[in-house]
Structure 1
Amino acid sequence: MRKDYLPYGKQWLENDDIEAVINVLKSDYLTTGPTIANFEQKVANYVGAKYAVAFSNGTAALHGACFAAGIGEGDEVITTPITFAASANCVSYEGGTVVFADINEVTYNIDPIEIEKKITPQTKAIIPVHFTGQPVQLDEIHAIAKNHKLIVIEDAAHALGAEYKGKKIGALSDMTMFSFHPVKHVTTGEGGVITTNSESYYKKLVQFRSHGITRDMESMTQNDGPWYYDMQFLGYNYRMTDIQAALGLSQMDKLDNFVERRREIVQMYDEAFKDTEYLVTPKQLFEGNSSWHLYVIQLNLDKINSTRKEIFEALVAQNIGVNVHYIPVHTLSYYKELGYKEGSMPKAEALYETIITLPLFPKMTNEDVKDVVITVISELKKVSK
C-alpha cells in the first residue's frame, strides 16, 4: 500500500505562480483591473478566438452563455446526462428546459444521432460536453445545428488544450466554456471563461457578469455625468478577480507542458492495461486529440466477483484516490422531481454502473502511475472469476 494518499486530480503551483499573485496583491487593482483583460487575451489567443470573457467560475460562465444565447422560458436545450450538473443547471437558471440525449458507448460523449431524435420546434441550443477532454463529434453536431438553426455552446471544462481535426477547441462553435478549478488543466482557484467569435455575444457576456450594468454612453438613453451608469437587464456579480487572473496568466504558460504530461500518463496507463481482461480503457475518436482531464476505466463485471463499490473502496483503502464521473444528471433528485426518469438514458446509465476514474494530473510521477496500475490489477485479480 502507498504511504501517502494519491488524489485523482491536483493543481501544480510553482514559485512563479505565487509571485504572479503576490505582484497583483501589491498592485492598485485586486479586481476589475488590467490583469483580467490580459488573461482573457491570452486564453483567446491560445484557442484562436476573437474574444474571451472571464467569470468567477465555470458554472457562472455557462449561465452567461445561456443568457447571451437568449435562452428563456419555453426554450429547450439538449445536453448529455454524463456530465457535471452545471451543464444542465445553466439552462434552468434562465428558465429553459433541459433535454437529455444519450451517449455514444465508445466515446462516452453525447451521440449526434440521439441529439437529432430530441429536436422539437422548441429546441434552441445544444450544449455538447467534451467529457474527459475528448472532443465531441463537432462536424455532425454543427450540421444538425445549421439544419435546425440552433446555437452551439460547448462545455469544454475538461478540454482546454484539446484539438478537433487539428484545430484547438475554443473557437469552433458559437460559444465555448472552459473551467479553471484546481483539478483542471490550469487553475485560477475558481474561475471560468467563455470564448467566442461573436461581438454581440461578447458584449452581452461582459455586461451580464457585472449586474447588467453599462457605462457605454452610446447604449444609454440618459447621462447625468461622468459618474453615470445604467442597469439595462438583470445580471449577476460573476466577475473574476485580478488575483485569480494573475494565477491564470502564469499557469497558461505551462498549459502545453501540462497537457503533454497528461498524454504521457495516459499512454502509460493504456500500455499497462492493454492485456487486462478485467477492465476497458477509454478510446479516442480519430478526429479528436484529447487533452485528458480524466482517465475513466470501465470494469468488466462479467470477469470479477465484485461490485464497483467494493473495488472503489478497495482502491481507496490502498491510498489510490479514485472517483466516479459522473452520476447521470437526470437521475439526481432535483431532476427526478421535475419528471426526468431513470431508464430514459440506457447507455449513460449502464456506463455509470461500471466506471471508475483513476488519478491523472501532471505532477504525478512515473512511480505514482506504477502504483495505480499495480494496485488496480492486483485488486481486480483478487476478485477475478
Structure 2
Amino acid sequence: MTAPEPKAEQTQPFLPYGRQIIEDDDIAAVTDALRGDYLTTGPLVTKFETALKDCVRADHAVVCSNGTAALYMAAKALGLGPGSTVIVPSITFLATASAPHMAGAEIVFADVDPDSGLMRPTDLEAALTRAGGKADAVFNVHLNGQCGAVEAIAQIAREHGLNIVDDASHAIGTRYRIGAEEKLVGENALSDMTTFSFHPVKTVTMGEGGAVTTNDPKWAEALRLCRNHGMTRDPAHFQTTADAFAAPDAPNPWYYELEEPGFNWRATDIQCALGISQLNKLSRFMARRKALAAAYDCLLAPLSPVVQPVSHTDCAPTLHLYPVLIDFAAVKMSRAEVMAKLAAEGIGSQVHYYPVHRQRYYAARYGITHLPGADAYYARALSIPFYASMTISDATRVVQALKLVLGL
C-alpha cells in the first residue's frame, strides 16, 4: 500500500499594486462595437465624450489615445512651443513634463509637500523665481487622486499670466470646495483644461485612453485638430479655395486641409465602448475605493510613525493609488528589500514616482535642482495594493504582511 500524496499547499492569490475590473457587460460592450460599422472615428467616440463631459460637468471633452496624448494636445491647444516655459511638479509620471517639452516648451520643476507629494503655492512661487519671474503655464498634478491648494495656486498663476492645466490622470471623481461650492476635478472651475488617463490601473479604463476637458470652444476645436494630424475637414477653415470648392457654397467632399503637421492621437470606438461601460460604474468604483482607503487608514494607524499614509488634503478624493510613507532607516532595510519580502508574501508594490527633475535627460538639460520636498517624499513612498475589486480582508492581509516584513 502506497502512502497518499501530500496535498498541495493552498496559497493566497498575489495582490498587485493595482489592476482593472473588467466585467461581462464591459466585454459585451466591446463585442458590440466590434460587430458595428465603425471601429474608429464612429459614434461611440462622441458618445463617450458626452458621457465624460457630463460626468465632470465640463462644457467640452475631447477623447484621445492615452493620457500622454492628452497632455501634449493641451500644450498645443494653448500654443505652447519653442520659447515657452511650463512649470511642473517633480513628483509625477514622466509625461506631465515630457508632453509639453515635446511640444517645444522648456520645463521648470517645482518642489512638493514631502508628506503629500503635491505642489504647494510656495513651491509654485519658488519655481517662478527660478524661471526669472515669467512662465507661460503650470501643469498642476492631482497626485494619487488628491488635489492640493488649488485656489491659492490658481491665484498665483493668474497673477503671473499662466495658463493652468490640471493633470488629473489619478483624480477622476475627486471633489473640492471653493467657498461653499463643491467642484469636480475636470469641471475647470479654476483651470483652463484638465487631462485624464484611462490606463488599466486607473479608476476607470479604456485599455489605453485619455481625454481633455475644457470650457472654451476654441480650445476644444484646437484639441480636436491636434488629435487628428492637424488637419481639418471644416469648410469654414479652408484657405486653398480653388481646390477645396467646386463652387462657392459647394466644398469638394473628398477635400481636407493641413493647418499644422500633427500626430494621430485618435481613440477608437472599441476603446470608447469600454470607456462608456466603465464610466457607468464610476460611482460604484468610487465607493469601493473610499471604503478601502478608510480601512487602510485605520489598519495602518498602529504602525505609526514608522509607516504612515500620505497626508490627507482638504478635498474629497477618489484615490487612484494608496501610497504609504515608510521610515526605511528605522527598520534597517532598503526599499528594494522591503518590496522583495512583500512580494514573497504575495503582496505587490510600486514606487510613484522617481522625481522627474532627477531623470537623466532633464538633469543633463537643466542640472539637478535642489527640491528637498520631492526628494523626501520619494525616499519614503511605497504604493501598496489598491483597486476596487479588493476586499477589506485583502487590505488586512496587506497590512499584516507589512507588519511582518518590517518587524513591527
Q: TM-score range by the shorter chain?
A: over 0.9
Could you tell me how far apart the structure 1 residues matched to 2:327 and 2:403 are?
12
1:150 alignment partner, one of 137, 141, 162: 162
2:322 alignment partner, one of 292, 295, 314: 295
1:258 alignment partner, one of 272, 279, 285: 285
Task: Look up the match of 1:13.
Answer: 22
Task: Look up the match of 1:285.
Answer: 313
SS of the residue 2:284 aligns to: helix
Per-residue displacement from partner, 1:120-175 (whole Å, max 9, x unpaired)? Answer: 35400000100000012110111012111110000000000001112110022100
Label 1:160 to 1:239 Cα distance change in 2 as closer, same or farther (>3 A): same
For structure 1, the 5+ residue unaligned runs are: none
Task: Look up the match of 1:169.
Answer: 185
Aligned residues of 1:74 and 1:122 also touching (Cα < 8 A): no
Question: How far off its partner does 1:198 sit?
Answer: 0.6
TM-score, structure 2 normalization: 0.91
Kindly indicate whether residue 8 of structure 2 is the aligned counterpart of residue 4 of structure 1: no
Question: How far off its partner does 1:2 sit?
Answer: 5.1
1:315 alignment partner, one of 333, 337, 342: 342
Could you tell me how far apart the structure 1 residues matched to 2:194 and 2:355 are?
22
Question: How far off its partner does 1:81 sit?
Answer: 0.6
Question: How far off its partner does 1:105 sit?
Answer: 2.5
Amino acid in structure 2 at the alignment position of 1:101: A
Aligned residues of 1:213 and 1:231 also touching (Cα < 8 A): yes
SS of the residue 1:164 aligns to: strand
> What aligned pairs does 1:180-195 form with structure 2 within 5 A after superposition?
180-195=198-213
Task: Look up the match of 1:375.
Answer: 401
Aligned residues of 2:114 and 2:376 also touching (Cα < 8 A): no
SS of the residue 2:86 aligns to: strand
TM-score, structure 1 normalization: 0.96
Per-residue displacement from partner, 1:36-89 (whole Å, max 9, x unpaired)? Answer: 000001000010000000010000010000000111112110011100000000
Q: Which deviates further from its counterpart, 186-195 or 158-167?
A: 158-167
Q: Which deviates further from its counterpart, 230-239 or 307-316?
A: 307-316
Aligned residues of 1:2 and 1:318 also touching (Cα < 8 A): no
Task: Look up the match of 1:29.
Answer: 38
Task: Look up the match of 1:97.
Answer: 106
Could you tell me how far apart the structure 2 residues matched to 1:340 and 1:46 are?
41
Task: Look up the match of 1:227.
Answer: 254
Could you tell me how far apart the structure 2 residues matched to 1:212 and 1:96 are?
19
For structure 2, the 5+ residue unaligned runs are: 1-9, 246-251
> What aligned pairs does 1:37-76 form with structure 2 within 5 A after superposition?
37-76=46-85
Question: How far off its partner does 1:106 sit?
Answer: 3.2
Task: Look up the match of 2:118.
Answer: 109
Which structure: larger Rg?
2
Per-residue displacement from partner, 1:13-45 (whole Å, max 9, x unpaired)? Answer: 111111111111111000000100000010000
Could you tell me how far apart the structure 1 residues matched to 2:201 and 2:367 are?
30
Count of paired positions: 380
Could you tell me how far apart the structure 2 residues matched to 1:121 and 1:39 are?
40
> What aligned pairs does 1:194-209 form with structure 2 within 5 A after superposition?
194-209=212-227
Question: How far off its partner does 1:114 sit?
Answer: 1.3
Amino acid in structure 2 at the alignment position of 1:230: E
Could you tell me how far apart the structure 1 residues matched to 2:386 and 2:82 are?
40
Question: How far off its partner does 1:328 sit?
Answer: 0.4
Aligned residues of 2:16 and 2:348 also touching (Cα < 8 A): yes
Task: Look up the match of 2:197.
Answer: 179
Amino acid in structure 2 at the alignment position of 1:57: N
Task: Look up the match of 2:6.
Answer: none
Could you tell me how far apart the structure 2 residues matched to 1:375 and 1:107 are?
24
Question: How far off its partner does 1:302 sit?
Answer: 4.8
Question: How far off its partner does 1:366 sit?
Answer: 2.1
Kindly indicate whether residue 150 of structure 2 is the aligned counterpart of residue 138 of structure 1: yes
Question: How far off its partner does 1:107 sit?
Answer: 2.2
Could you tell me how far apart the structure 1 residues matched to 2:281 and 2:65 are?
21
SS of the residue 2:141 aligns to: coil
SS of the residue 2:122 aligns to: helix
Could you tell me how far apart the structure 2 residues matched to 1:57 and 1:184 are?
12
Q: Which deviates further from its counterpart, 23-32 or 224-233?
A: 224-233
SS of the residue 2:333 aligns to: coil
Aligned residues of 1:315 and 1:375 also touching (Cα < 8 A): yes
Per-residue displacement from partner, 1:232-265 (whole Å, max 9, x unpaired)? Answer: 1111100000000000000001011101101111
Question: How far off its partner does 1:94 sit?
Answer: 1.1
Aligned residues of 1:2 and 1:371 also touching (Cα < 8 A): no
SS of the residue 2:393 aligns to: helix
